[in-house]
Amino acid sequence: MQFNKFITYKQFGNQAVLIAWPVKIDEVILADILQFKTKIHIAFQGEIQDLIVGYNSLTLIFKEDIIDFNSIKEKLQQLYHQVTNVTPQENYIWEIPVCYDVTFGIDLKEMSTNLRLSEQEIIHIHSSTLYTVFFIGFLPGFLYLGGLDKRLHFDRKPKPRLNVAKGTVAIGGKQTGIYPQQSAGGWNCIGKTPISFFDINKELPCFAKAGDKIKFTPISKKEFDAISAKVVHRKFKLIKSVIHA
């Protein structure tokens, strides 16, 4: 309840409410958002169509048009203050294999020159960090990750590429991420993962969720090819471990 004085509630269209926290990327704020999300899911069961997490927001999509916003707002404010024994969601650390070979890391050389770090130093720093999944957006399965080491902050390209391959691991500004499908993009490509981050045929199309952690594990080009073959035949299983509070 430490953010109570700073949280705002606004009606967003006919069927949504936008709840906003202070505008910054912060794991304490994320934890507060996720806890409130669980409370809302229970209290408004049957009324909510979706709950969408952002860096500093939570959007409630109702199944029906909102008739009395003030009443909903009051209920939400009371709910936020309630001390309940809500079981927190179980979160995982996902180990994502990444090949940083020059075949995929086409911007490593430029980054190395400008950051005054060797390519191996960039790879080591990038793969030694544990990243937090704040939310999923932009593209289905695109994870917005927090935690990129300041030494690797690097501006996005002034002119985006028209085609960035699926699985490309890249850095843009203060963030790192993985392109879940082929698309245009202006981030700096440093590697590639053979893992698919979005599969519409699965019950959970994206395996990761807000609050999870991502750990990039460097692999060789040979290992990349081997894992790719297993992924195609659905014989590769990601390594995950439970995050203990």
Q: What is the pLDDT of residue 53?
A: 93
**Alpha carbon distance 19, 59 (integer Å):** 6
Instruction: List, as one string, the DSSP characters of 50-115.
Output: EEEE-SSEEEEEESS--S-HHHHHHHHHHHHH----PPPPP-EEEEEEEE--TTT-TTHHHHHHHH
Beta-bridge partner residues of 18: 10, 59
Pairing relationship of beta strands 57-62 and 213-219 according to DSSP bridges: unpaired
- Please tell me the distance from the alpha carbon of residue 14 to that of residue 3, in angstroms, as a whole number: 27
pLDDT along the chain (245 residues), means of 10: 83 95 90 92 92 93 96 94 77 97 97 98 98 87 92 96 96 94 95 91 84 96 97 92 83
φ, ψ (nearest 5 deg) of residue 34: -65, -35
CATH numbers and ranges of domains, the chain:
4-81 (3.30.1360.40), 92-242 (2.40.100.10)
Give the pLDDT of residue 190. Answer: 98
Cβ contacts of 131 within 8 Å, gap of 6 or more? 145, 146, 147, 148, 176, 213, 214, 215, 216
Q: Evaluate whether 87 touches 45 at the Cβ level (below 8 Å).
A: no
Q: How far apart (Å, rounded) are the C-alpha atoms in residues 140 and 138?
A: 7
Structure confidence at residue 25 (pLDDT)? 86
Residue 184 C-alpha from the chain's centroid: 19
Phi, psi of 105 (to 5 degrees): -85, 65
Q: What radius of gyration do the chain's Cα atoms show?
A: 20
pTM of the model: 0.86
Tokens 């209920």 belong to: 75
> What length does the chain have?
245
Distance separating the N- and C-terminal Cα atoms of the chain:
19
Q: What is the pLDDT of residue 1?
A: 53
What is the pLDDT at residue 69?
96
| Whole-number pLDDT of residue 245 | 62
